[in-house]
A and B are shown apart, each in its own frame.
Chain A
Amino acid sequence: MKIVVCIKQVPDTTEVKLDPKTNTLIRDGVPSIINPDDRSGIEAALQLKEKVGGTVTLVSMGPPQADVALREGLAMGADDAILITDRAFGGSDTWATSSTIAAALKKLDYDLIITGRQAIDGDTAQVGPQIAEHLGIPQVSYAEEIEVEDGKLIVKRQFEDRYHIIEVATPCLITALAGLAEPRYMTIGGVFDAYREKEVRIWTLEEIKDTINKDDIGLNGSPTRVKQSFTKQAKGVGKILDDVTADKAVQAIVDKLQEKHII
């Protein structure tokens, strides 16, 4: 099975802190990681390859340093990788991003495309389904489990109150939840191969010019744009009781609850 996994390099947003003086994000020193949902996607692809044979190709759209994320995926065991990168893609919203990635995918041969459900920086969960639409293939999102049966994918698709067992023929796109597969660690040999033996191809606008519509890329190709961004106002600290006995603390809480007519 020819599997393509789309990944994104993201800042580890759980490590981001707020500067208390300026109320802005401190972005320096925040480590870059493979988006957690995507990493599960890579693992799921590697497991499928181990079961039925085939290849795993990684694709990422990002700045040049996203090469590190692709190398990590190669070190886990993926076969090859493509970095889609160009200044022209800067400022892309999800329409432009999905259009650009789909244009690259149109040049590849694939049975299955796996994307993460959601990136921890953009938080939209939109790019996977939009890629599927651009390619005209079925999508199954919120995948908790993936199996292969006679060349078809069997997916456990999660909802809030139920799940579906879905059978879908290739080619198709599946979006992975972080819990889909426990990602393996890179081995020393794997890291070696990732840098010495395996290739990260660089594709700029030039390489995809015959499959992309230039009106769909970058800031100008984006139907949505950020009008403003801001950090939330701290809610105003109330009263904090430090160094009181438990009984006094309890009394203070009871008083407050009575004051607000909760009891």
Chain B
Amino acid sequence: MSKDIYVLAEQRDGEIKKVSIELIGKARELAKDLDQKVVAMLLGSGIKEKAETLIAYGADEVVVVDNPMLAEYVTEPYTKALYEIIENYNPEIVLYGASSIGRDLAPRVSARVHTGLTADCTGLAIDAETKLLMMTRPAFGGNIMATIVCERHRPQMATVRPGVMKSLDKDETRKGEIKIFNVKFTDTDMNVKIREVVKETKHIADITESKILVSGGRGIGSADGFDKLKELADVLGGEIASSRANVDAGWISKDYQVGQTGKTVRPELYIAAGISGAIQHVAGMEDSDLIIAINKNNTAPIFDVADLGVVGDVNIIIPKLTEAIKKLKLNA
């Protein structure tokens, strides 16, 4: 009988990725509906001490594979390790973050195990009647949502979009079990050679962490248009963000991109400045608490999702807004 919800705890250089913590949080909810446990799978080299953190964030157990073969992510060693864990423990569900690692690893594992895999999920729930995992995801370029099921194969597997599920608060008093799992690697498992690892040195913005985003679309006019948005973001204590168009135009780097092919954000405040509101963009920000849109075009679809919409020129309104808020803060 397959049992328990397993979550891949993705790590880079020993740092556990936020998406894995979010997935443990979601797995706890699902585990409650199934009356089963949450097990984190931690793969890496010199990684054992990080297992405690996963328990603090909600895992009941952590299965650790600690081996030099797993120091940097390479498909085959990671696939082999996960495959052996799955064959050994027979999980009911396995969840991965839909990162560039998860979306390379999960399909390979699903083919080796011969089970179903659903990609880039934004919703997960246990069906009350069938007890099956309902996996909901955007499809057709983000134009529709589909709910997928995996009825006859186990484990049910899904990669999950980062920034959508909610992490639990860290609780150092939580208790859990740590299991060291040994995988017999051979030289042939490293079937590619890493010639070089080049880490990104410049600051990579994490717009998913910010409570306030001032996001710019084509309407800001040029790369310099982001300067005005940055001023407003600074005075509000937030970050700037961008639509895909400006990233494609080279005005700003991809880590600022919000949307179907960028990041999903759900800040307290999302100001959409000069953004038309194409479905692919809206898919990445529609769950923001408060959406304020400014656009010259009164038929822009962004106004269909905005709580407050203003038809006007962003290049005039944004600086005035910055001034007004600065004044308020001075007088406060």
Query: Is B108 touching A229 in the complex (CB atoms < 8 A)?
Result: no
Query: Is A256 touching B307 in the complex (CB atoms < 8 A)?
Result: yes
Q: Provide the residues of chain A in CB contact with B12, threshold 8 Å.
A: 159, 161-162
CA A121 – CA B138 in complex, angstroms? 10
CA A160 – CA B291 in complex, angstroms? 27
Look across to chain A and name the residue whose beta carbon is closest to the beta carbon of B112: A133
Query: Is A249 touching B204 in the complex (CB atoms < 8 A)?
Result: no
In the complex, whether B222 has a CB less than 8 A from a CB of chain A is no
Say which size band chain A's interface belongs to: 35 or more
CA A261 – CA B317 in complex, angstroms? 21
Supposing A226-B146, A242-B311 touch, asked if A139 and B75 sit within 8 A by C-beta, the answer is yes
Q: Indicate which residue in B147, B148, B193, B236 contacts A168 across the interface (CB closer than 8 Å).
A: B193
Query: Is B316 touching A95 in the complex (CB atoms < 8 A)?
Result: no
Counting residue pairs across A and B whose Cβ atoms lie within 8 Å, the total is 243
Look across to chain A and name the residue whose beta carbon is closest to the beta carbon of B190: A138
- Which of the candidate stretches A46-54, A181-189, A233-241 sits at the interface with the other chain? A233-241
Query: Is A249 touching B139 in the complex (CB atoms < 8 A)?
Result: no
Query: Is B141 touching A93 in the complex (CB atoms < 8 A)?
Result: no
Q: Provide the residues of chain A in CB contact with B107, threshold 8 Å.
A: 94, 124-130, 133
CB within 8 Å of A: which of B105-120?
106-108, 110-112, 114-120
In the complex, whether A196 has a CB less than 8 A from a CB of chain B is no
Look across to chain B and name the residue whose beta carbon is closest to the beta carbon of A178: B261
Query: Is B317 touching A249 in the complex (CB atoms < 8 A)?
Result: yes
Supposing A224-B118, A224-B150 touch, asked if A168 and B200 sit within 8 A by C-beta, the answer is no
Q: Indicate which residue in A223, A224, A235, A252 contacts B308 across the interface (CB closer than 8 Å).
A: A252
CA A129 – CA B117 in complex, angstroms? 12
Supposing A229-B145, A262-B268, A263-B328 touch, asked if A224 and B116 sit within 8 A by C-beta, the answer is yes
In the complex, whether A21 has a CB less than 8 A from a CB of chain B is no
Look across to chain A and name the residue whose beta carbon is closest to the beta carbon of B292: A253
- What are 20 contact pairs spanning A and B, CB under 8 A? A123-B120, A123-B142, A124-B117, A126-B110, A134-B111, A138-B75, A160-B100, A166-B194, A166-B195, A224-B116, A224-B149, A237-B305, A238-B308, A238-B309, A240-B310, A247-B320, A249-B294, A260-B269, A260-B290, A263-B329
Binding site for B on A (CB under 8 A): 11, 13-14, 16, 18, 25, 93-95, 98, 120-130, 132-134, 138-142, 154, 158-168, 172, 222-232, 234-235, 237-244, 246-247, 249-254, 256-257, 260, 262-263
Binding site for A on B (CB under 8 A): 12, 72-73, 75-76, 79, 99-101, 103-104, 106-108, 110-112, 114-120, 134, 137-153, 191-200, 204, 212, 236, 255, 268-269, 278-280, 286, 289-292, 294, 298, 303-313, 316-317, 320-321, 324-325, 328-329
Q: Other than the known A95-B117, A159-B100, what 19 A-B pairs have Cβ atoms closer than 8 Å? A: A14-B141, A123-B142, A124-B118, A125-B107, A129-B111, A133-B79, A133-B111, A141-B103, A142-B100, A223-B153, A224-B117, A225-B149, A225-B151, A232-B144, A239-B308, A241-B308, A252-B308, A254-B321, A262-B212
